[in-house]
Structure 1
Amino acid sequence: MNPDDRTALTALLELSGALLAARSPGQVEGILTRLSVSLLGTRYALFLRFDPGADVLRVTTQAGEHARELGVTLARGQGLSWQAALGAAPVLHVQRAAFPPGAVLLDGSPRQSALFAPLRTPAGELLGVLSVGRLAPEFSARDEGLLRTFANTGTVALERARETARALATREGTLLALGLALEARDYETQGHTARTVALSLRLGRALGLDDEDLDLLRQGAYLHDIGKLSVPDGVLLKPGRLTPDEWGQMQAHVQTGEALARRIPGLAAGVLAVIRSHHERWDGGGYPDGLKGEAIAPLARIFAVVDVFDALTHARPYRAALTVEEALALLRAESGRQFDPRVIEAFLSLRLQSAPDPAGVAWDQP
């Protein structure tokens, strides 16, 4: 293998490895521009994302010392990027000496050699254009081939990222719908699901959770009381004290909820733990398993505080709402008994001052 081929292979391996870790279109675009600069030795690299609604190309990501086009928008047919997007060639190569007068240049930008590679799906859908430029040396056929391969690899990564985003949006909507199903029975104050999701994420960040655990906490917050869909209205909405049999039915909602949630594809163990264990107590007096202290799943310990706080600060059929100050005082008193002291300490540090609008999600505001 000659040195040029070895260099090209190394570049492609580096790009492919980086793109495997990308989870969103923005991350894919950032990797394409950043590595185009470093691997092709260019002054700049731009990604112009196609917006089909507005029918424009817009610079959404840039890299390189001389990149300053972020946000620039090109109407259909305007500039060399559109020429590449509408043409049949896999790469448009514009030499510095032959730079056309109709090209779009920012004030002060020099004429330079440029390559434009459109990203199209196998079905012909335009995703965007990857553009690079430099003063010297002139781009070679090898450079064109590399950028074409970058664009093809980026197309696959963008399609994967878009499908992932669609799946996540569908899952988020499903989880929200399940959470709202309880509110439709007037069991919980309107907005409980949205508020507990938002406040759980804020508390999770205060405790230093990474993105993966925050996502699991959010899913658990959506689904925490799904098991109450099986509890009869006469028990669920009863304004007075529950009988021992009714209390047993109420407590069983966590096991029922876990069993229901297991039928949702892709739910992780951390989500199921929130559903099953958010009524466990730090001192071991909770249900359904009587777990104590560190034996309780961390995400369940976090959500337990949020769930109780939101319940205390909003009216229930059997009692009036407490003020934020009264609720915080109760939580503080239960530190080391009902709740994990470390979680309570982090929760108190959030400095919540007033209850949000009943239907709002203001608990996510600092």
Structure 2
Amino acid sequence: MSADDRAALGILLDLSQALLSAQVRSEVEAILTRQSVRLLGTRYALFLRYLPELDVLRVTAQAGQHADDLGRTLPRGQGASWRAALGPDPVLHLRREHLPPWAMRRAGVPPQHVLYAPLRSSSGRLLGVLTVGREDPPFLRRDEHLLATFANTGTVTLQRIHEAARAAATREGALLALGLALEARDYETQGHTGRTVALSERLGRALGLEEGEREHLRQGAYLHDIGKLSVPDGILLKPGPLTPDERALMQKHVLMGEALVRRIPGMPPEVLGVVRSHHERWDGAGYPDGRAGEAIPRLARLFSVVDVFDALTHVRPYRAPLSAPAALDLLRAEAGRQFDPEVVSAFVSLPLLGPGSRRV
């Protein structure tokens, strides 16, 4: 292996390593531009994302000495980036001494040698264009090959992220359907699943949960009451107080729910913890295990506050709803008894939803 080959391999390994941690499209685009400047020694690098709904290319990431292109939009057919996107070649190479008239130039920027590498999925779908430029030295065939490989590596990463997002959306839709299956039995609780999922996401952000933790919390919110599918209508919809035997049967819904959710392939233990433990109490007087304080899974402690607030502020067969301020007062009163005080403090401090003084 020649020295040039070893250098090229090192460059590609550096790029691949940087892309391994990327979780969203914007991270991939930023890494591609940043690493292109660093590894290819270019003056600048731009990523133009294709927006199919508008049929335009838009600069969504940049690195190097071009600091004023972010957000710039090119309609179909305008400029060299579109020429590369619509052309058959893996890289379009424009030399500064022979720039064609359709190559757009920015005022005050010296002529550049420029490379354009389109990113296309395996099905031929345009994802964007990676472009780099410099005044000197001219780009060599090796630079073209490297940029083409950069684009291919970026494409693979973007496809991975796209497929993961699509799988997550499909999974989330399936979880929502399970939650709605319970609501279909009881008109009084319709909307509870969607509201608790949305509130859980807001509370998770307020408490600084990472995206993975927030996803587990959302999944737990979708599934928290799925065990009530096993509770007879006569108990679930009873308008008056439950007898001790009925209450004991109702409380078993968390164990039944955990058993059902455990059968979903790949369900994380954090989600099982929400389903099983969201009726535990900070003071240890909850069910099914009588856990107290921080022995209760953290996500279950978070969801408990969300679940109770939504239940208090909406109609139930056995009582009328409370106003939001009255429900918040109740949560404050139960901080340190039923609820984790830190969670209550974060929940009652959530930003306003709309006009008026009502929080959360």
Q: TM-score, normalised by structure 1?
A: 0.91
Higher relative contact order (CA 8 A, sep 6+): 1
Aligned equivalents of 2:237, 2:155: Cα separation in 1: 53
Q: Secondary structure at the match of 1:347?
A: helix
1:353 Cα deviation (Å)? 8.5
Aligned equivalents of 2:191, 2:231: Cα separation in 1: 20
2:251 is aligned to 251
1:237 Cα deviation (Å)? 1.0
2:83 is aligned to 83
Unaligned runs of 5+ in 1: 357-361
**How far does the alpha carbon of each residue in 1:15-58 deviate from its partner, in whole angstroms, 9 at most, with x for none?**
10111111222221221112111211222212222334444333
2:234 is aligned to 234
Q: Where does 1:1-366 land on structure 2 (aligned, <5 Å)?
A: 2-186=2-186, 188-350=188-350
CA contact (8 A) 1:56 1:75 kept: yes
Letter in 2 for 1:203: L
CA contact (8 A) 1:324 1:352 kept: no
Aligned equivalents of 1:209, 1:224: Cα separation in 2: 19
Q: Secondary structure at the match of 2:49?
A: strand
Aligned equivalents of 2:355, 2:73: Cα separation in 1: 43
CA contact (8 A) 2:32 2:150 kept: yes
1:258 Cα deviation (Å)? 1.1
1:359 is aligned to none
Q: Secondary structure at the match of 1:46?
A: strand
CA contact (8 A) 1:46 1:59 kept: yes
CA contact (8 A) 1:324 1:353 kept: no
Q: Secondary structure at the match of 1:317?
A: coil
Q: Secondary structure at the match of 2:50?
A: strand
Aligned equivalents of 1:4, 1:176: Cα separation in 2: 54
CA contact (8 A) 1:236 1:250 kept: yes
Aligned equivalents of 1:89, 1:285: Cα separation in 2: 69
Q: Secondary structure at the match of 1:337?
A: coil
CA contact (8 A) 1:324 1:355 kept: no
Number of matched pairs: 359
Letter in 1 for 2:6: R
CA contact (8 A) 2:350 2:359 kept: no
Aligned equivalents of 1:296, 1:352: Cα separation in 2: 29
Aligned equivalents of 1:99, 1:9: Cα separation in 2: 31
Please provide the CA RMSD for this pair.
Answer: 2.3
Q: Secondary structure at the match of 1:57?
A: strand
In structure 2, the CA distance between the partners of 1:123 and 1:323, relative to structure 1 (3 Å rule), is closer
In structure 2, the CA distance between the partners of 1:8 and 1:221, relative to structure 1 (3 Å rule), is same
1:114 Cα deviation (Å)? 0.3
Q: TM-score, normalised by structure 2?
A: 0.92
**How far does the alpha carbon of each residue in 1:86-113 deviate from its partner, in whole angstroms, 9 at most, with x for none?**
2222211100101111112344443211
1:250 Cα deviation (Å)? 1.1
Unaligned runs of 5+ in 2: none
Letter in 1 for 2:224: H
Identity %: 68
**How far does the alpha carbon of each residue in 1:111-132 deviate from its partner, in whole angstroms, 9 at most, with x for none?**
2110011122333333221111
In structure 2, the CA distance between the partners of 1:316 and 1:122, relative to structure 1 (3 Å rule), is closer
CA contact (8 A) 1:44 1:67 kept: no
Moved more, 53-62 or 249-258: 53-62
1:307 Cα deviation (Å)? 0.8
Aligned equivalents of 2:173, 2:87: Cα separation in 1: 39
CA contact (8 A) 1:45 1:67 kept: no
In structure 2, the CA distance between the partners of 1:363 and 1:6, relative to structure 1 (3 Å rule), is farther
**How far does the alpha carbon of each residue in 1:51-81 deviate from its partner, in whole angstroms, 9 at most, with x for none?**
3444433323222221432333333332212
